[in-house]
Amino acid sequence: MRLIVQRSKNSSVSINSKVVGKISSGLVVLVGFTHTDTIKDIEYCVRKLINLRIFDDDNGVMNKSILDVGGSVLSISQFTLYADTKKGNRPSYIKAMNGSVATKLYDIFNDKLKEHVKVETGMFGADMLVSINNDGPVTIIIESGD
Catalytic residue annotation: 78-80
Task: Please check whether residue 46 is in contact with residue 69, taking contact to mean a CB–CB distance below 8 angstroms.
Answer: no
Strand duo 118-121 + 72-77: pairing: parallel
First to last CA, the chain: 11
CA distances from 97 to 38, 50, 121, 127, 129 (A): 11, 24, 19, 18, 22
The kind and range of the H/E element at 29 are strand 26-32
